[in-house]
Amino acid sequence: MDLKERIFYFLSFIISLIIGLFFPLSVDSQCNGNLVIINFGDSNSDTGGYVIIRGMIGQLPKKHTINHDLAGRMCDGKLVIDFLYTIYTGFVVTVVRGKATLWLGSQLTIFCRKIILRESVKNGYLTPFMESMGKNFTNGVNFAIAGSKTLPASDSFNLKIQIAQFHRFRSLSLELFDKGNGNLLGDEDLRNALYTIDIGQNDLDGVFGGLSYEKAILKIPDFIYEIENAIKAIYEEGGKNFWVHNTGPIGCLPKSLTTYNKYKDDYDEHGCLRSLNEGAKIFNDKLYLLSEKLRDELKNTTIVYVDVYSIKYDLIANSSNYGFVNPLMACCGYGGPPYNFESNNKCGQGNYTICEDRSKYISWDGAHYTEAANAVVASKILSSNYSTPPLKFNSFCNIAP
């Protein structure tokens, strides 16, 4: 970069900073009241349940962990749900000629955006259900477990099992809350809670790995049916607010690109597998229709469908605009370019290595995103531009009188 370009960048930064201060274009999800979140899903939103069950240490070596409170996640830091849930004030991304500078130390780049994230819910991160009942669940509970699917029923922590755990938690929470336990949730908390669902990636990965494309597609309605049953079960217990994420472009994951041997013409212009992504789109289309259907069927409910697929695919397709490099390559893994993924040397196992700058990578371990990528995904979710209906996340806050 020559001197003239450096000066241009500096002046652009100063101008954009001034504009940002006086004309803030912000995504502000701050709650002025209490937001209770009850989450169901897989590793994309598991905040430690799997590690508790298996009695394992976190995937990331201690010296690489950003925050002790984030141990147990399939990530180098925060998941999307952490950004949506926790207090994270002062996160300011300022545009400089299509790029950006993240203050507070670390670097992140975002194309033509200034974002202020203020996810405001109190008392830290969403507590896994598998934690002891001595924990504080006043802000919600997380039933998500890494590896979870909607099916088969024999899966240890499929969606139906998570719903059964919710029933048990609800019953016990109400009983103890009425006896004066202030660390649990009362009836009003549970009725006004936001029930978030992010599941389906493992189902698709499983069927595409074991069946022909045609047979795999035929399984998708069964997955949607289980999600429908889950929403209805929560509704019957008084739940009325739902936040449903569709699944991402699984054909762009380093794990998928390494595992599935496809024909050359199956790769799209960005190097992703068309067939897997088409399968994800079919799943998402049916999930969208389910959301529309249930809005009509279930009285007094709000069901927000969030198009996470479009957010993540844009991140891959335009990775350099966001400051990322090697969008199809895992930061933590083994094997080097193009994907740095090997099933026998996964992140945290065997002879894996970790990239020098995690903030420049989208994929953390070949199947999950880095904190830097999750921050971008969360900011776009909070914008409500990818939501149907386009409701703000903070619209579900229970504002105290």
Catalytic residue among 120, 245, 314, 368: 368
H helix intervals, 69-143: 80-85
Catalytic residue among 82, 307, 314, 365: 365
Residues contacting residue 86 through CB under 8 Å, at least 6 positions apart? 78, 119, 121, 124, 125
Residues contacting residue 265 through CB under 8 Å, at least 6 positions apart? none
Residues contacting residue 190 through CB under 8 Å, at least 6 positions apart? 36, 38, 170, 173, 174, 237, 238, 239
Query: Residue 365: what are its φ and ψ, rounded to 5°?
Result: -125, 15
Query: Residue 306: what are its φ and ψ, rounded to 5°?
Result: -115, 125
108 contacts 75 by C-beta, under 8 angstroms: no
Catalytic residue among 43, 256, 275, 387: 43
151 contacts 200 by C-beta, under 8 angstroms: no
* Local structure of 116: helix, strand or coil: strand
Catalytic annotation present for 2: no
Instruction: Return the closest-CA partner of residue 41 out of 170, 164, 193, 162.
Output: 162
Catalytic annotation present for 363: no
Catalytic annotation present for 245: no
Catalytic residues: 43, 365, 368
